[in-house]
Structure 1
């Protein structure tokens, strides 16, 4: 498969992993990391990998939705993506699960669902996780 790199993000984490510090090489992201209470932590002032993944997935999916909408000449202005990334225990170890709640105001429900499915096929995060983790999609039009 031909692969033309368009962009590479670089990040470094120091400290104790989930209780460490993360930053990107360009300085745009510089965060403390903390363990959530639900995982035995103290809910300190930092973020965590699941929150970062939730923001990244939502942003990527929203970009894919806007791209498929442009192609379909559909108006998705005012659309939002709310993502929920859960970390849980399974027989194999720790696993992720994602829920994406997509709201597209002012559009027919069937058309909204069609656009969301097309975005799910296009989104690099969706393609990377397909078959690896459960991703649930919900679509609202108001």
Structure 2
């Protein structure tokens, strides 16, 4: 069972050639040449990226926004928080491939316990990437504050 949404914005992108092709947003805001990394047996062409890089960039930005939202609701400031998303791909026990994510949250201006509470609330209640991955992708939070 999935939750339905009322769309506020829809992003559209098209990829041609799969992991050794090109992807671009329909509005021209993002475009990237893709190649399979050497670690996965591909050419790892210079100047290219992977779907995992794109996912990591999106998740990090979205999670940072979710943290800012939670902090603002609590009359706190998480605008200086740095979110790094580490997205790994590998074979699944059940066949095919799967992802694993580590979200590293850092903000030396906030106590670690306070930062962790904001990050956990963002992960559990707000971030759409976290909602989408829950139950499907192992996502681990690592938090470091003051």
Report if the CA contact (8 A) 1:77-1:104 is conserved: no
The aligned residue for residue 131 of structure 1 is: 135
SS, match of residue 21 in structure 2: strand
User: Which residue of the other structure, out of 124, 138, 144, is the alignment partner of 1:140?
Assistant: 144
- Any runs of at least 4 consecutive aligned residues in structure 1 with deviations exceeding 3 A, and if so which? none
Matched residue pairs, number?
A: 141
The aligned residue for residue 27 of structure 2 is: 26
* Cα root mean square deviation, aligned: 1.2
Give the Å deviation of 1:2.
5.5
Give the Å deviation of 1:28.
0.9
Stretches of structure 2 that go unaligned for 5 or more consecutive residues are: none
Query: TM-score, normalised on structure 2?
Result: 0.92
Give the Å deviation of 1:46.
1.0
The aligned residue for residue 87 of structure 1 is: 89
Give the Å deviation of 1:119.
0.7
Is 2:113 the counterpart of 1:102?
Answer: no
The aligned residue for residue 36 of structure 1 is: 37
Cα-to-partner distance string for 1:89-140 (whole Å, 9 max, x where unaligned):
1222211000000012221221111101011021000011001110000000
Partners of 1:21 and 1:100 in 2: CA distance: 27
